[in-house]
Structure 1
Amino acid sequence: MAPRGHSADDVARAALRILDDHGLPDLTMRRLATALEVQPSALYWHFPNKQTLLAELSDRIVGRTASGVPTDLRTEAFSLRDALLAYRDGAEVVSSTLALGLGSTLAHDRLTAAVVHDGFDAGTARRGATTVLHYVLGFVWHEQQRMLYDSVGARDMEASGLESDDFAFGLDLIAAGLRARGRV
């Protein structure tokens, strides 16, 4: 029988709030249980371990990109970036989940469909999508680290070094490389 009053959705929503308010290092099962006013053991009814919970959070973060209609690579990459930036440490949560082979493959699948949509074969699309996924995760992780440092006064926001169009520039380089490879 499930813990009274809390569904898996309740647990995941509370975990996302803690992630946003305190960051990944402070998203503990104990803190989550306290927020839900249950014993930590009650959480394991819905999620057998923290990695499974993080996989659910990753799926929810990436799920923000799902429009149902395949679009071009640039649109998908920007959509993924926006989804990751919507949650504190979003890139780290998604990246760690992917590294463990947990959670859905939605981000990669959408990027692959976008590369196919741009006229490439399935093999090139899969490899190109992997490259773009790693680029987006790395770029956003870096952005989120800088935002954290800026928020605690560790860095001068004026001297951040990241321009708003740097993401687009890097993405355009990858797309140009794909197009050039297609002509070889």
Structure 2
Amino acid sequence: MKVNRESVVRGGLRMLNEVGLEQLTLRLLGRELGVQATAIYWHFANKQALLDAMATLLLAEGAPHLLPQKQSAEWDVWITAFGHGLRRALLAYRDGARMVAGTRLTDKEYMRTVERIGQRLVESGFTTRQAVVLLGTVYSYTLSFVQEEQVVYPSPGERSPQYDLQQRSEWLSREEFPLLRQAGPILLDRFDRRYKEGLELILRGAERTQ
């Protein structure tokens, strides 16, 4: 079986869902694709190069969801769409956020979408620096948020036993940790709600710069 660069990248994303980031190797991917490891190394010199391409494809395919339905929407709608769309793209794959963190994009498709969002911010009165900082803040918030979320839920709907809320509550006494005891359900459950609340706090701060 012959493979090309795209088939290797898509195969890598499939394997990521099956085995997770640590267990994904070029040799394992080669076996999955039915080729020798040398066929994989022909396209990618090492695992990091493969991850760069995988992250690029993940973000490129998620790019259409980073934009609001109405192009005439206000700037906060654009930023909200960017944040929620990015989270959706990262959650599409096991360890998606950890895989994307620290990678280098190999094409410009995702960048073109971010450029459009940044230009919309500037048109709305933000300086270039403010627009860049706001986009970077939402990106960093989303990336770190999903990394935490995917630790608690390694697979959709399957909570890690290490984050059992009842055990956490029993471990923290009411007397010593009255606030943190109540924080468990807020921090480690209903991630959709907490992500939305955190993004709204960022937007509220950005609004003050207007």
Most deviating of 131-140 and 69-78: 69-78
Unaligned runs of 5+ residues in structure 2 are: 69-77, 167-183
TM-aligned CA deviation for residue 67 of structure 1: 2.0
Contact 2:52/2:105, CA 8 A, preserved across alignment: yes
**Residue 110 (structure 1) shift:** 3.7
Matched, 1:154 2:162: yes
- Give the unaligned 5+ runs of structure 1: none
Counterpart of 2:39? 42
Query: Partner residue of 2:9?
Result: 12
User: How big is the alpha-carbon RMSD for the aligned residues of Structure 1 and Structure 2?
Assistant: 2.5
Q: How does the TM-score come out when normalised to structure 2?
A: 0.74
Instruction: Quote the Cα distance in structure 2 between the aligned partners of 1:142 and 1:69.
Output: 21
Which residue of the other structure, out of 190, 198, 203, is the alignment partner of 1:170?
198
Distance 1:178 1:105 in 2: 27
Q: Deviations over 1:129-175 (max 9, x none)?
A: 11111000000000000002954533337865332311011111111
Aligned counterpart, 2:209? 181
Larger gyration radius, structure 1 or structure 2:
2
- Looking at structure 1, the residues matched to 204 and 111 of structure 2 have their Cα atoms a distance apart, in angstroms, of 19
Q: CA deviation at 1:107?
A: 5.1
Matches within 5 A, 1:8-157: 8-67=5-64, 70-71=67-68, 72-97=78-103, 101-104=104-107, 110-111=113-114, 113-118=116-121, 119=124, 120-148=126-154, 150-156=158-164
1:174 aligned counterpart, secondary structure? helix
